[in-house]
Amino acid sequence: MLLITACLFPMIAGPLSAFVSAGSERERNIRYAGVILLTDLLCALAAVFGRPLELFSITDRAVMGFCLDSFGRLFLCMVLILYTAVCFYAFEYMKTEERPNVFFSFFFVSLGAMIAIAMSANLVTLYFCFELATLSSVPLVLHEMTKEAVAAGLKYLFYSIAGALMGLLAVFFVYYYAGSDASFTPGGILELSRLAGNESIFYAVIFVGIIGFGTKAGMYPMHGWLPTAHPIAPAPASALLSGIIAKAGVAAIVRLLYYSVGAEVLKGTWVQYAWMCLCMLTILMGSTCAFRETVMKKRLAYSTVSQISYILLGLSFLSEEGFRGGLLHLMSHAVSKGCLFLVAGIFICKLGKRNVTEFKGAGKQMPITMWCYMLASLSLVGIPPMGGFTSKWALASAALGDGMGIFSVLPPIVLLLSALLTAGYLFPIAIDAFFPGHDFVLPSPEKKEPSLLMTLPLMALCLGALVVGVFGTEIVGLLG
């Protein structure tokens, strides 16, 4: 029961903490802190002592079940790191927003859904939890309830539902050709004898499923929701959407291809090469759009479109090395981009500035914040010893060693071009912040550094990026 308790506890305790009793803002924040820390503890216990659990059966093979394997534990760890950091940051940030209790209610419901995704034992359970994560995170996007926020929330909802339905088609086909046990299994669960003669339609459906689940991850051509929703949502929600919620699509693709279909079934087929092309196109398109964008949060949103496709590109190699490289970048991007969106929120609530040209001298007003921005940017660009370097090195090595001809050469070239563009849209902000020029005079020279509730999460995420850079290979190696 530990697994289901860890999923349900934040869904129930979070909203209750928001609305059961009045209390002061400080008392509510203490309750929220208690909920997030108890959730962390329950998940840790579940990771160590949790046993597989079947709730009920829909059909003979379609079972709602939960189980934690090595990939699930890694994904769960990233969920908890991002949500815990954002929770404490939001205590301060949400003072500037209306209806903070509503925000925290859906915050905790979405946390429970993301935990359930990590603990899903099969595709049916994963699909149910995937949809729940979408429905519970939509209110985070439209929180401000402006016309633009509602439009962005609906766009996110429609794209996500359309993508999930495409993914559901792939789930149907996998279950049709699966063996008696449909639980996630490394190498896949298909009965290849049943698939013989039907490969063409199966490949087409799986490709549709990749695009469908890739919608949540912002993969072309279903990426349009992401640069619309991220800038509108409050900064804590943007950090979650980019840092971990969008990676629910990555988790779904991992479970579909590596634990259900089997990587070897698709390796060398047109599905693999078409998917690789879409990933590389998304990387270059996202980086180029981010380079041209002047609104800070929208620039970071386009960056997310690009960077999550680094993960998908590694997965598209359908090799153990590519899989590990993708997981390294999942960890690196989660903490780095989460940090950058939280920094953008500080710019908004402390300086009232949203445009990338408006941050001159910010390094003198808030040095801790800007140093965290710089460290996260170094990781995203891929400068050692930060996590982005380790993950990109692993991805490039996996491509070059895979013997796929031109498709072994193109990915490292695309990664290098994207890294240059990433440096071009992140580093100038830090240069202007620390070195505004001799002629520049700060309009307000006093320090505007936010409280520890905001700066400590930034520092924790930067530390996480460094840990991934130094120990990431060993952490992923624990997956076996």
167's tokens: 């993914």
What integer is the mean pLDDT of 177-190?
A: 88
State residue 365's pLDDT score.
Answer: 85
Banded pLDDT at 443 (limits 50, 70, 90): low
Q: What share of the chain is helix, strand, coil (3-state, %, to 5)?
A: 75, 5, 20
- Distance from first CA to last CA of the chain, Å, rounded? 26
Check whether 435 has a pLDDT greater than 90.
no
Query: How many other C-beta atoms can be found within 10 angstroms of the C-beta atom of residue 450?
Result: 19
Of the chain, the percentage scoring pLDDT greater than 90 comes to 70
What integer is the mean pLDDT of 458-477?
A: 93
Least confident of 274-278, 312-316, 395-399, 449-453: 449-453
What integer is the mean pLDDT of 445-453?
A: 79
Contact 426, 379 (CB under 8 A): no
pTM score above 0.85:
yes
* More reliable by pLDDT, 389 or 232: 389
Contact 165, 237 (CB under 8 A): no
Q: What is the pLDDT of residues 315-336, one digit of tens each?
A: 999 999 999 999 999 999 999 9
Query: How many other C-beta atoms can be found within 10 angstroms of the C-beta atom of residue 434?
Result: 16
370's tokens: 């800007």
Taking each helix axis as running N to C, give the angle between helix 452-477 and helix 70-93, from 0 to 180 degrees, rounded to the nearest 10. 170
Contact 322, 315 (CB under 8 A): yes
Banded pLDDT at 131 (limits 50, 70, 90): very high
Residue 53 phi/psi, 5° resolution?
-140, 130
